[in-house]
Amino acid sequence: MKHLAIIYHSLSGGTEALAQAVLHGARQETQVSSRLVRAFDAGIEDLKKSDAIIFGTPENFGYMSGALKDFFDRTYDAALPLQLNLPYAIFISAGNDGSGAVREIDRILRGYPMRRVADPLIALSGKTPGSIAPVKKTSGRILQQCEELGTTMAAGLALGIF
């Protein structure tokens, strides 16, 4: 059986709602074991036993959360000799446009190395023109997109695409 980890941080609950939707979608694929792991609780063992990872974070000051950055800081040196080359995806609850968080997560994960296999999913907070809904009142549309992200990653693993 393949293993998918969803490593995320949430302080207000918005990103956790997105993470739960990603997990719900991933669990539609019965040939993949999917689990949520909070960034502060995740470690190198979570990377070792995973066949793919989905990272979730709020956008803080145009960057990823400190908790997700802490996860990367704690696992980077141990991951280097493993040459994991895991497929990954990202979802972000953003107050700006999420691009800074995406850019820095991608930059860090190239060093592990890991490879992004899906476009980043960004839930805008409603403070930006053209945004979706406030993250605390996450719309059905973005939750559906999160479920689809989870389903896509899990199906890709089950089919051997990733």
| Per-residue H/E/C for 104-140 | HHHHHHHCCCEEECCCCEEEECCCCCCCCCCHHHCCH
In the predicted model, what is the mean pLDDT of residues 53-72?
96
pLDDT reported for residue 96: 86
pLDDT band at 126 (very low <50, low <70, confident <90, very high): low
Predicted pLDDT of residue 125: 72
The two structure tokens encoding residue 136: 């605390």
Q: Averaged over 147-153, what is the pLDDT?
A: 98
Is the Cα dihedral 61, 100, 17, 69 positive or negative?
negative
- pLDDT of 144: 96
Number of domains in the chain: 1
pLDDT of residue 133: 39
Boundaries of domain holding 83: 2-159
Q: Tell me, what CATH number does 32's domain have?
A: 3.40.50.360
Comparing CA positions, the residue from 63, 58, 23 lying closest to residue 134 is 58
- Residue 138 pLDDT greater than 80, yes or no: no
> What average pLDDT does this structure show over 116-137?
65
